[in-house]
Amino acid sequence: MAGKWFYNTKTGQVKQGRGWFSWLHVMGPYDTREQAQKALDIAAARTASWEAEDKQREADSD
């Protein structure tokens, strides 16, 4: 994972590799710096997608 990128939610920093952060405030790993910089946007999009899937399942089961 040395080549992977991580986003620190506490500081907003994006860094490569492990060992510079507490795992409590980290998102990743990401393949590129650009992906890590968009970590919050990626997470929000995934959450919205999962919520839409949940709503669809609920509607299908009614």
Question: For the whole prediction, is pTM greater than 0.85?
Answer: no
Distance CA 15, CA 37 (A): 9
What would the mean pLDDT of 28-50 be, rounded to a whole number?
96
Q: How confident is the model at residue 41 (pLDDT cuts 50, 70, 90)?
A: very high
- In 3D space, the residue among 12, 19, 48, 49 whose CA is nearest the CA of residue 27 turns out to be 12
Percent of the chain topping pLDDT 90: 73
Residue matched to tokens 């040395």: 2
- The residue ranges of every structural domain in the chain are 5-61
- Stated as kind and residue range, the H or E segment containing 15 is strand 14-16
Q: pLDDT for 14-28, tens place per residue? A: 999 877 777 889 999
Q: What angle do CA 1, 8, 18 make, to 5 degrees?
A: 25
